[in-house]
Structure 1
Amino acid sequence: MVKVGIVGGSGYTGSELLRLLYKHPKAEVVAVTSRKWEGKPVWECHPFLKGFCDLTFVSPEIKNFDGCDIVFTAVPHGEAMKYVPQLLDVGIKVVDLSADYRLQKDVYEKAYGLEHEAYREAVYGLPELHRDEVAKADLVANPGCYPTGCILAAAPLAKAGLIERVVFDSKSGITGAGIKPTEFTHYPNLHEAIVPYKVTNHRHYYEMVQEIGELQDGVKVSFTPQVFPGSRGILTNAHIFLKENVSLEEVRRIYEEFYKDCYFVRMQNMVRLSWVRGSNFCDIAVFAGEDRVVVSSAIDNLVKGASGQAIQNMNIMLGFDEKEGLDFPPLFP
């Protein structure tokens, strides 16, 4: 059993890591931190884990990770950089769920308005694109939730060099905003509403440009996020304008070929968030229009969009089958 630590266990991604890792056959969580909950049992913060997690929250001091083989940093951007270098320097592998290592230093500082004080080179942890690099990495930057659904929706056509422009329209459940209540997440402000926000300047845009640009140079990318009054899930419609006419049959062939060895990407005739809820799957469907191809993707933002994908990366980094601990069907309805 590999020994696992979690920095930042009181939020949604931290609790989801604990839920998923409980049944992992080859990994055991031995340390989980929270400054606010230090010294208290994990189940007091996460009552749904009572009887499944008997750990007590500790402080995020490096000594509390002695003996760990790998650590997940599930903290906000700007915070992970305080811990990641220390962990790497003592030989512990890291999967960072924040944004701190997803982008090049100058791009990160532009997007997040912070000086990066502890920059390290990391592998962008989208396994379907970078599985071989992840397998060799000591530091993996887990992708953002929006970029996961968006990039997977466009990657096959970008790899084929067929995209002129892509417009991502994404709708997310409110857990993507984090566990801390705000005016934006206040129930009366969100109930019976779909709310666009950061309409042209969401920080996740830079990940999409970076990854799609590596597959095909010169693609024009646009992105608008919205929040709907649900807990989990991201539904993305990628409006992809092509350089040449391609039949729907050929588009489907391109996607089937690209994802033929990707267990967690499922080609469907239609997508529904209820078909991926609670799982690490990304469902994709393709549709041909007169002026564009529309590719729809659906993920659970807390699983494939965060903690599940982080465990998928851990599995690859440690030489396990990437399905370990994640090979179960979604929760329906």
Structure 2
Amino acid sequence: MQFGIFTVGDLALDPVSGTTPNEHERIKRMVELAVHAEQAGLDVFATGEHHNPPFVPSSPTTMLGYTAARTSRIVLSTSTTLITTNDPVKIAEDYAMLQHLADGRVDLMMGRGNTGPVYPWFGKDIRDGIALAVENYALLRRLWREELVDWEGRFRTPLQGFTATPRPLDGVPPFVWHGSIRSPQIAEQAAYYGDGFFHNNIFWPKDHTQRMIELYRTRFEHYGHGTAEEAIVGLGGQTYMRPNSQDALREIRPYFDRSPIYGGGPSLEQTMEQTPLSVGSPQQVIERTLAFRDYAGDYQRQLFAVDGMGIPHKAALEQIDILGEQVVPVLRAEFAKNRPANVPDAPTHAALVAAARTDVEQPA
């Protein structure tokens, strides 16, 4: 099982210090988070894609390419690649290039995004969101898997004899997760192709997350990719830890209360009760995370948000240290217990290459 962190790259006021990082500081600090996560023994670093203030990561491949040069082991991913407003040709080429630069340590998560104004900025209509996600991804898969592509659809100009360059590393495209919080159509899309399904698992109660994952698992089996247990599932989560749980609650409260997402709604304690938000001691976060399996089944990837909302960079780095030293080793051991033999590991480039070669070598 893979454990890592993800960031949305927001610029937010620190309500305690009264300071806000500038864009340059925030971008550089995001890379520092990735490097620190590798040093702490985590498996994955993922960044969002946003094209509107107060967010800075408008070019994930640029950031991840730079991060690839600063790291050697950690998997570099997106926590959203906008399949709706990006041209699938550009996605195919950008991520194949990144795959080469990172020696295969790349996967990506397709998503529609949650900011309506982005659609017209890129010449799209938000009412076509689902249709764009379906059509664009169908084209992207062909661009990665076929040398010459003839294609015609609703949302872009036709292609005739087009070859995306560079070709995927070792002839194997990056593994794709489809991320969605609320859209069953996206869970269906992930199941149809046998790709991974990632549920952010932050803002919604566990019964909603459970329904989405069960839908994906059921349809994964329906399309003949394996049993429901063999479907590839990832979960998000948000955490803040201190040795003493009361210190964790006290420290995060002003950031929670001022958050544009959380602030003004249910209290911190109510939100923790109603959603998977995990604030407390390392042991409490371990117990909370292990309970995810009760409704998600045995899954393959767990990512934590440790920054954002104006949380100081130093505190975010400390969260990574706690994850690496106290939390993830226990989670690895506990999640491994009683894990059915047929539940696959999280896909890696090496594993995908090996599987592709095995398929080629199989007798007709």
Name the TM-score class by shorter chain.
0.3 to 0.5
TM-score, length-scaled by structure 2:
0.31
The structure that is helix-richer by fraction is 2
TM-score, length-scaled by structure 1:
0.34
